[in-house]
């Protein structure tokens, strides 16, 4: 019988994996790392020396616990003569464990077909965790938004959700009925949704030199469409990993793709770029950065096969390109026009201007 330790001993995790577990005599020591336990395969803490009394819960191997352990590749370890489950190597450097996310991910994983091999699921854990985190953000961020009619629970009946394609990204096939505006219920509808998780988008802007940094890289979407120019001017962008915020992702992506550091982030309107078929939600920011003449160059992560080139463009030229239809990347177009409307307000917020001419627009969010 294994003894659950650390994150696996948390009430939210025990309730899903081993509800019949009973408390055992604690173990003395300390847990190091573990910020991504139950979120990433290598996120489990390791046991170190210490005087803490670490709670342990004894359990049988339930089907849920066995399946979960197989997916994460976590196995019992012998410490102080006792078999404990919930430890690993290397320890994660993530600062804070998120039990609600780990519990929601456990629910998602245990709901996948049992015919799907555990090792195949493990390879997709980063993207699955990102998708589950996206769903949590969506639920939290839309609680106070005004409803267009009744809420979703009253207007939609979900009959089934399947995943006919599951690689780095996935496709969900949803069968549903909806309560129509005339008061009737529709016949069952089939809808396919491309699932990629949330993304962060940041346009680096140097307000002193009044220039921005754009990047270009090969894009599969324009290539598949037959575009003669599948390299597009665009912003820094990337997926919001599970366990990080959109702002943290924006700063991380700026370093990875261009090598620059963003000091402040000013949020532009976040949005769904194509809600009819794509579940992606974009967090848009203008990022304040120092952009001297030699800051442009080559970037991207070799581990992700990125081949990125960056360019310095004056803000005035960016606006001209946007109005002339030369920008075909939607997030960049949005940010270019938003920056044109907001640049003086942002400068004032940064202490670079003392007075703003009235724009008739609602104030933008403050920088972070």
Catalytic residues: 304
Question: Cα–Cα distance between 231 and 265 in angstroms, integer?
Answer: 26
Indicate the pairing of strand 170-178 with strand 189-195. Answer: antiparallel
Q: Which two tokens stand for residue 179?
A: 């309560």
Burial of residue 62 (number of CB atoms within 10 Å: 0-12, 13-18, 19+): middle
- Gyration radius from the chain CA atoms: 24
Q: Of 348, 330, 328, 349, whose CA–CA distance to 338 is shortest?
A: 330
Q: Of 201, 237, 209, whose CA–CA distance to 316 is shortest?
A: 209
Indicate the pairing of strand 264-267 with strand 189-195. Answer: unpaired
Task: Indicate if the alpha-carbon torsion angle 321, 323, 324, 328 is positive or negative.
Answer: positive
Question: Cα–Cα distance between 29 and 56 in angstroms, integer?
Answer: 12
Q: What is the DSSP string of 176-226?
A: EEEB-TTSPBPPPEEEEEEE---EEEEEEEETTTTEEEEEEEE-HHHHHHT
Name the β-bridge partners of 22: 58
The 3-state secondary structure of 36-91 reads CCCCCCCCCCEEEEEEEEEEEEECCCCHHHHHHHHHHCCCCEEECCEEEECCCCCC
Give the Å distances, CA to CA, from 320 to 288, 313, 316, 337, 340.
21, 11, 6, 10, 10
């Amino acid at each position: 019988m294994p003894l659950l330790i650390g994150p696996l001993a948390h009430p939210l995790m025990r309730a899903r994996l081993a509800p019949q577990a009973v408390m055992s005599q604690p173990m003395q020591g300390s847990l190091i790392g573990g910020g991504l336990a139950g979120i990433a395969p290598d996120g489990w803490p390791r046991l170190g020396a210490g005087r803490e009394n670490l709670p342990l819960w004894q359990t049988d191997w339930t089907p849920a616990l066995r399946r979960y352990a197989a997916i994460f590749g976590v196995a019992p370890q012998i410490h102080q003569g006792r078999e404990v489950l919930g430890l690993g190597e290397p320890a994660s450097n993530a600062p804070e464990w998120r039990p609600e996310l780990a519990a929601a991910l456990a629910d998602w994983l245990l709901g996948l077909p049992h015919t799907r091999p555990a090792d195949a699921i493990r390879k997709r854990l980063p993207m699955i965790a990102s998708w589950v985190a996206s769903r949590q953000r969506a639920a939290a961020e839309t609680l106070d938004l005004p409803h267009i009619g009744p809420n979703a629970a009253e207007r939609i009946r979900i009959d089934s959700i399947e995943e006919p394609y599951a690689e780095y990204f996935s496709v969900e096939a949803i069968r549903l009925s909806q309560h129509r505006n005339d008061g009737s219920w529709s016949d069952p509808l089939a809808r396919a949704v491309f699932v990629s998780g949330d993304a962060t988008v940041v346009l680096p802007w140097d307000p002193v030199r009044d220039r921005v940094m754009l990047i270009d890289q090969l894009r599969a979407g324009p290539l598949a469409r037959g575009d003669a120019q599948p390299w597009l001017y665009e912003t820094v962008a990337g997926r919001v990993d599970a366990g990080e915020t959109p702002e943290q992702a924006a700063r991380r992506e700026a370093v990875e793709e261009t090598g620059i550091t963003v000091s402040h982030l000013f949020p532009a309107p976040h949005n769904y770029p194509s809600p009819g078929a794509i579940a992606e939600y974009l967090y848009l920011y203008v990022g304040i950065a120092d952009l001297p003449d030699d800051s442009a160059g080559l970037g991207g992560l070799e581990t992700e096969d990125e081949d990125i080139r960056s360019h310095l463009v004056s803000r005035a030229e960016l606006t001209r390109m946007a109005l002339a239809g030369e920008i075909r990347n939607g997030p960049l177009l949005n940010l270019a026009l938003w920056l044109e409307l907001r640049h003086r307000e942002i400068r004032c917020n940064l202490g670079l201007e003392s007075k703003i001419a009235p724009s008739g627009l609602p104030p933008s969010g403050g920088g972070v």
